[in-house]
Amino acid sequence: MSFVILPGRVHGVCGGVARAVAIARQEAARHGGLVYSIGQVVHNPLLMEELSRQGLQVVAEASQAPDGSVVLLRAHGSTTAERLSLVERGCILVDTTCKNLLPAHRLVDKAFAEGGVVIICGDGDHVECQALKDNRDRVVVVTDPSQLPSDLCADTRPVTVLCQSSTPPAAFDAFLERLRPALDPACRVTVRRSVCPPVMSRHEALQELLPRVDAVMVVGGRHSANSRGLYETARRKVPAWYVTGPGDIDPAWLADVSVLGLMGGASTPDEALNRVTARLRELGGMPAAQD
């Protein structure tokens, strides 16, 4: 079995992930490792394992961080309730929220303050969407317009629409097509394409890759929404597999593959891609010739 490994032109962690990891390293070193985060700072197992070795401790909820401890606010954002509960217990907050998410937060805050309705295309269980919603009743997170409450669909207040930063561009376009008929014709709708630039660049790289390959392998953490979005987009066109590391690869997948595209999400470090590439080479993969 032999095949060519063709990587996407964009790889490595994005600036927001790199910044969050750098802050976590710095704070762990400064405080002797006694630093906590509410959930994963970034959604990649290799990076989180490294930070854990340096002393970062992950807790599921704000209430589990000890009083007075140093707490990292994850790159995906945090809710007002989380921050207030930590401050009330004397915790020192270190914000690693990605700067690419701040325009979306300002947009939601402004639309809500002006009395409008905000619709977010995204996963309501994802921490980014929970932070954007921030427990506000006129901010709604859905994956499909059919999930919108009937009273909202009949509402004539201005509607602002945006998406989770990791949403595949084509998926947001499809969402918008279904949304307009679901809303009252009299309401004014403002759309903001809030897919973050690093996610967009990876989807553009994937689109360039797809015509040149027989299959695609996407490397990412199990909780990485942007990596999962790449996989979902790829598998609509060619056979595709999602792996977190070399141990997930089934050699049988590659039996009929001549050219394999390889992509990593915005939170996938080069080390993770290199490990997967090494395993693919053991299975007969050859690096693509340089143009």
Residue 278's pLDDT band (cuts 50, 70, 90): very high
pLDDT reported for residue 69: 94
pLDDT tens string 231-268: 999 999 999 999 999 999 999 999 999 999 999 999 99
Asked if residues 217 and 261 have their Cβ atoms less than 8 Å apart, the reply is yes
SS3 assignment for the chain:
CCEEEEECCCCCCCHHHHHHHHHHHHHHHHCCCCEEEECCCCCCHHHHHHHHHCCEEEECCHHHCCCCCEEEECCCCCCHHHHHHHHHCCCEEEECCCHHHHHHHHHHHHHHHCCCEEEEECCCCCHHHHHHHCCCCCEEEECCHHHCCHHHHCCCCCEEEEECCCCCHHHHHHHHHHHHHHCCCCCCEEECCCCCHHHHHHHHHHHHHHHHCCEEEEECCCCCHHHHHHHHHHHCCCCEEEECCHHHCCHHHHCCCCEEEEEECCCCCHHHHHHHHHHHHHCCEEECCCC
Residue 291 pLDDT > 90: no
Q: Which amino acid is at 109?
A: D
Whether the per-residue pLDDT at 32 is higher than 90: the answer is no
Q: Kindly state the average pLDDT of the residues 88-97.
A: 95
Mean pLDDT of the chain: 94
- What's the mean pLDDT in 73-89? 94
Domains of the chain: 3-12+198-287 (3.40.1010.20), 15-98 (3.40.50.11270), 101-191 (3.40.1010.20)
Three-state DSSP at 275 gives helix
Q: Of 224, 216, 168, which is closest to residue 193 (Cα–Cα)?
A: 168
Judge whether residue 158 has pLDDT over 60: yes
Sort residue 39 into left (φ over 0), alpha (ψ -120 to 50) or beta.
Answer: left
| Contact call for residues 185 and 231 (beta carbons, < 8 A) | no
pLDDT digits (tens, 9 = 90+) for 34-75: 899 999 999 999 999 999 999 999 999 999 999 999 999 999
Tokens 């945090």 — which residue?
78
CA distance 267 to 34: 24
Residue in the structure block whose two tokens are 């602002």: 160
